Structures are given as C-alpha cells and as structure tokens.
Amino acid sequence: SQQGEEDPQALSIQEGENATMNCSYKTSINNLQWYRQNSGRGLVHLILIRSNEREKHSGRLRVTLDTSKKSSSLLITASRAADTASYFCATLRETSGSRLTFGEGTQLTVNP
Amino acid sequence: DAGITQSPRYKITETGRQVTLMCHQTWSHSYMFWYRQDLGHGLRLIYYSAAADITDKGEVPDGYVVSRSKTENFPLTLESATRSQTSVYFCASSEIRAEQYFGPGTRLTVT
C-alpha cells in the first residue's frame, strides 16, 4: 500500500505563479523526501526534511512538515516552464531501514 | 564518470527469456534499490540491498532475482520474463536513511 498520497494528481499553472503540492502519509516517519521526474528520466532528489524539522528551503523550493497531521507540502515559487515535471513525495518510516515508500506523484505543468 | 548507470537503456525480449538489467554506482553507497514504475502504480520497490551479499525483498519481488557480490553493482534478473514485467526499471543508491540517487532507467518490453 502507498504510504504517501499526493494532492492534487495534476496541476496546471502559468509561468510566474506559485505551485503547491501536498503529501499525506499514514505511519511515523524518520524523514520525508521530495523528488522530481522529468518525462522519460530518472528521479532527482529535491529536499529531505527530518521528522523533527518543520520547514526547509532550497532556492525556490519550500517544504513544510506537520507530523501531527502526517502531511507535507512542497511550494515552488515563481514557477518556470522548466519546472514542468512529476513531483513525488517519499517517506522513510521509522521501521523500514532505508527503504522509501513513494506516492503516485503530482504532474505539474507550467505554461509559458 | 561518477554517478549511477543502468544498462541496457532499452530492451525488448520475448516471454520466457531470461533478462538481466545492470546497475553500477561509483559512490560506494551502502544501499542499492530496484524499482519498477508503471502507470497507476507509481514507483514500487522490487528488491534492495544494505551491503554486499545482503539483499532483501521489497513490495513486488516475485519473478525477480538479485545479487550483490560487489558494493558497486546490483544486477536484477528476470528469470522467465512475462508480459506483466513490461515496465520501466530504476536503480537507486543511497547511504543509510538518506536521499536516493536514481539511474536513468531501463525501459523493458516483454512481447
């Protein structure tokens, strides 16, 4: 079963707008990670946020984590056409060693 | 070149044939993983390895075999390919409880 569920499944915005994607999960985690996948390519790691962290930034990316609600969000500010990709959250459970469980992703389209 | 590579990138095979997908990483990461990605199922873990000679099943291991005699290599073998194994396969590596680095993928078609 999928640990993480992304919302929405698809998002279409205009260049310059902000994009927000959400992820919910079910069990206690050690950390939560966000990945990007361009069409036909491998996944690329974006940000890792640990269970004792609430917010993390990397360039135009901002990730929040609310362990009480078992949810996370990824905000991309001032989006660009090159941000068009699928975005996946992945959770590392406390009991799973180093195994990640991926959600099914959000397809983001940024229109020029 | 540093990184993680997979070969072949594309493979077409017939039902019943044995196929081996190769994965090589240059970081000396302890952990290596094999996933398959299918529409409607996201990324599913097939097998993983915590170190050389240590492997374990993931979510969907049936029909697959792995080995890890060297830290840098983690081949995945389909012993008798079936059409349901048509998929895109990704290899990844990581240190313990850290971010994973993915290869470019192998697109496998079983006819």
CA B60 to chain A, closest CA, distance in angstroms equals 11
Residue of B25, B57, B99, B101 for testing the chain A interface, max A β-carbons within 10 Å: B99
Asked whether residue A2 carries a pLDDT value surpassing 50, the answer given is no
**Given the DSSP bridges, would you call strands B54-57 and A29-37 parallel, antiparallel or unpaired?**
unpaired
The answer to whether A72 and A64 have CB atoms below 8 angstroms apart is yes
**Residue A3 has what pLDDT?**
58
- The predicted-structure confidence for B16-32, as pLDDT tens digits, reads as follows 999 999 999 999 999 99
CA-closest candidate to residue A22, choices A80, A60, A83, A69:
A69
**Residue B110 has what pLDDT?**
98
Query: Hey, how many other C-beta atoms are within 10 angstroms of the C-beta on B14?
Result: 11
Encoded tokens for A40: 């036909």
Encoded tokens for A38: 């361009």
Q: Which residues of chain B have pLDDT under 70?
A: 1-2
CB-CB: which of B31, B58, B103 is closest to A42?
Answer: B103
A1 pLDDT tier (thresholds 50, 70, 90): very low
- Proportion of chain A above pLDDT 90, given as a percent: 83
Residue B83 has phi, psi (to 5 degrees) of -60, -30
The answer to whether A36 and A107 have CB atoms below 8 angstroms apart is no
Query: Hey, how many other C-beta atoms are within 10 angstroms of the C-beta on B80?
Result: 11
Asked whether residue A4 carries a pLDDT value surpassing 80, the answer given is no
Residue of A93, A100, A101 for testing the chain B interface, max B β-carbons within 10 Å: A100
- The predicted-structure confidence for A38-68, as pLDDT tens digits, reads as follows 998 999 999 999 999 999 999 999 999 999 9
